[in-house]
Structure 1
Amino acid sequence: MSGYFSDLYHGTKSLLVGLGVTFKEMLKPTVTVHYPRETLTITPNYRGHIELVSDEKTGGSLCITCGMCARACPSACISIHSEKPEGSKKKILTGFELDFTRCSLCGICVESCPTDAIAYSQEYNLAGYSREEFHMDLLGRLGKGGGSLT
Structure 2
Amino acid sequence: MSGYFSDLYHGTKSLLVGLGVTFKEMVKPTVTVHYPRETIVITPNYRGHIELVIDEETGGSRCITCGMCARACPSDCITVLSEKPEGAKKKVLTGFELDFTRCSLCGICVESCPTDAITYSQDYNLAGFSREEFHMDLLGRLGKGGSLI
What's the TM-score once normalised by structure 2's chain length?
A: 0.92
Matched, 1:108 2:108: yes
- Equivalent position SS for 1:16: helix
Question: Residue 132 of structure 1 aligns to a residue in which SS?
Answer: helix
Question: What does residue 23 of structure 2 align with?
Answer: 23
Q: Does 1:38 align with 2:38?
A: yes
Correspondences of 1:32-111 after superposition (within 5 Å):
32-111=32-111
AA at the equivalent of 2:118: I
Task: Give a deviation string over 1:8-35, Cα, whole Å, max 9, x none.
Answer: 2222221111111111111111122222
**Deviation (angstroms), 1:6:** 2.4
* Stretches of structure 2 lacking an aligned partner (at least 5 in a row): none
What does the per-residue CA deviation read over 1:93-145, in whole Å, with 9 as the maximum and x for residues that have no partner?
11100111111111111111111111111111111122221111100100110
Give the secondary-structure state (helix, strand or coil) at the position aligned to 1:33. Answer: coil
Structure 2 residue identity aligned to 1:126 = L
Please state how far the C-alpha of 1:87 moved relative to its aligned partner.
Answer: 1.3
Question: How far 1:63 moved relative to its partner?
Answer: 0.8
Distance 2:137 2:10 in 1: 64
> Alignment identity in percent?
88
CA RMSD of aligned residues (A): 1.3
Q: Matched residue pairs, number?
A: 149
Segment drifting more, 42-51 vs 64-73: 42-51
For 1:74 and 1:99, locate their aligned partners in 2 and report how far apart those are by CA, in whole Å: 13
SS in 1 for 2:128: coil
Whether 2:6 is the aligned partner of 1:6: answer yes
- TM-score normalized by structure 1? 0.92
Aligned-partner Cα distance in 1 for 2:121–2:33: 22
